[in-house]
Amino acid sequence: MIKKLSKNFIAVFLGEGLSYLIGFFINAYIARTLGTEGFGLINYSLAFLTYLLLFSNMGLTTLGTREVARDWNNTRIIGEVTGARFVLTLILIVLFLSLLVIIPGAFQTKKMILIFLITGIPCAFYLDFVFQAREEMEFVAGGRIIQYLIYFIFLVLFLKNKEQILVVPSSFLIGYIISTLILIIFFIRRYKRLHLTVNLKKLFQTLTSALPIGLATIIYQAVINFPVIWLNIFYGDKETGIFSAGFKVILLLLVTERIFYYLFFPIFSRQIKENPQAMPKIITSFSWVAAGITISIATISGIFARELINLIYGTEFIPATLTLRILLLYFIISPLNTLWGYALIALDREKNFFNIISAMGGINLTLTMLFGYLFKSIGVALAMVLSELCGLLMMYWKLNTVIPLALNPFKNKSLTEFCKLFKI
């Protein structure tokens, strides 16, 4: 077990790391070739796809991961999840195209948005959640790397000047198509075929089951983007820039949160079925591992926060140092929140998960408006930390009512028991 966990950790770490690195070079190349106006236009067009993917997923892949982790041969849920994503994608594309007819804008811009929206179709058939559930993370990582690599190669080959701006969404689409097809090939080698479900009644039932997870994701995304809007309304671009400088560093560090999700969620989901009595030890031990990693990263980053800000952004952004140091507390708390939240989902408590995320979102909005108005970017950072802490306490309270957790290091030998459990 520990051998597989180590292999998966390396695969996900390399997959996320290389994807971010290639993505950095992609953005730099696009920005240098197209200039500020073209780069802004690309990001504007890409925002339409971002919303399409958010609303076409609606927690379906998380539901699929949980169910496949419990039973690798559950092809029914794979077909239902994929079918529901495909139907939702088609509906959303039609809605967005209707908006494009109404919204004023250049014809080329609308063509760019259309190409990005079409990318939603291969995304609907992107089966990484199946391989995550099977704990075969090399395919999850490989799919992401291939997608970004193909995207980058096509950009370098065909994007040479500002007039070729449509190469960007076209390359993005091609990257997703190739990556999706590769995952489908490996999927067919395991399952022989993909049983796509298009029965509207079954699709509605599947979507209803996933809805609490999907709504929680939408709420979280809305809340996480609110501080920038609030600061800009009252204090303008400079204060917004100071907060954004610190927060973008945190977003980079939160790659660890994605790694924890990829690794731990299928394990939780599988153990619930196979060995439920071991769940308290597993969750407790993984919590300590996650806390140890994030506290170590946050401590080092906090010590060198000033140098880090100066290195990335320059001396003009030195005032963001204190904001970054406060947000590092958010970085420590957030992965634990994710860990315990997805433990609730693994326990079929997705409604509890939704209720906690909703409450946390309300607390965040209230504190952001109050503290942001009074203390600017520092106040917004404090609001994020306090609301995340409230969410963590609620997650712990709800999870502890189902699975007793023993987090006191002086009274619990969970790590030792964890090692014995997995025969380390």
Most confident of 72-76, 194-198, 269-273, 357-361: 357-361
pLDDT at site 152: 93
Average pLDDT over residues 221-233: 80
What is the C-alpha separation between 48 and 93, in angstroms, rounded? Answer: 10
Residue 195 neighbours by CB under 8 Å, 6+ apart: 75, 76, 78, 79
Q: Which of 319, 334, 322, 317 is nearest to 251 (CA)?
A: 334
Helix (H) or strand (E) holding 342: helix 320-346
Residue 237: pLDDT band with limits 50, 70, 90 = low
Residue type, 172: F
User: Is 10 a residue whose pLDDT tops 70?
Assistant: yes
What is the C-alpha separation between 162 and 185, in angstroms, rounded? Answer: 36
Residue type, 86: F
What is the C-alpha separation between 185 and 8, in angstroms, rounded? Answer: 21
From 261-270, 382-391, 401-410, the region with the lowest mean pLDDT: 401-410
Helix (H) or strand (E) holding 328: helix 320-346
pLDDT at site 41: 79
Whether the Cβ atoms of residue 245 and residue 314 lie closer than 8 Å to each other: no
Residue with the two structure tokens 């969410």? 391
What is the C-alpha separation between 305 and 158, in angstroms, rounded? Answer: 39
Over the chain, what is the mean pLDDT?
85
User: Is 74 a residue whose pLDDT tops 50?
Assistant: yes
Q: What is the pLDDT of residues 176-198, one digit of tens each?
A: 999 999 999 999 988 877 777 77
Residue with the two structure tokens 């539901």? 63
Residue 172: pLDDT band with limits 50, 70, 90 = very high
Whether the Cβ atoms of residue 418 and residue 290 lie closer than 8 Å to each other: no
